[in-house]
Amino acid sequence: MESLVIPALILVAVAVAVALASRALGNRKAAHDAAPQQPSPGAAELARSAAAKLSEAEHRRIYALIAQGQAMAAIKLYYEATGDGLRASRDAVGALASHPQPYRSPEAPGSTPEDDEDDEPQRFPYRYRAIASKGDVTREVSSNMLNDEIYGRIRTLARNGDAEAAAAALTRHSDISMKQAREFIELLDD
């Protein structure tokens, strides 16, 4: 009987160690999964300052890599272009992906964000895709004159019942006809 006490104690100790390790890994995974869902309050400002550090070619290439889903390559390129640390480069590329920034040349640091009422919309160095669907009907608009902010304004106009203004804004910021814009806006109405 005494010969079984030591192996039983070892077995209990191993079981406790495994339970503690699995709990620690579960907590770490839960914390890691929860972190990306909460955008940091300074992410938009980080994106603006990160974009300001890039040349036009670097800016275009980083957004191309982000669009292709090659985050590691985008981080590496940002790291090499700016000399920031790896963590700072990772955060900057994440902010650039979350808050797309147009390229602004160093000669025009005081340029203001695009106003919806301008005659000539600003062109961004990336293509924005807006997709609307209802039932089995799906429409897509892809344009380098759209971004989250402008598309949000268009959706707000559509949801507030001003479909004509929404369609006009969509045609102004894309290369689609008014008829196509109206069809797209109809899918946004709820």
Strands (E) across 55-180 are located at: 128-134, 137-143
Cα torsion angle, 165, 166, 171, 177, sign: negative
Site of tokens 């090659």: 70
Tell me how far apart the alpha carbons of residues 156 and 99 are, in angstroms, rounded to a whole number.
19
Q: Cβ of 93: how many Cβ atoms within 10 Å?
A: 24
Q: What string of pLDDT tens digits covers the 190 residues of the chain?
A: 677 888 888 888 998 888 888 888 887 766 656 544 444 558 888 888 898 999 888 888 988 888 888 899 999 999 999 988 899 999 999 999 888 888 887 764 444 544 445 456 777 777 888 888 888 888 888 888 888 888 888 888 888 888 898 888 888 888 888 898 888 888 876 5
CB crowding 98-127: b at 16 or more within 10 Å, else e: bbbbbbbeeeeeeeeebeeeeeebbebbbe
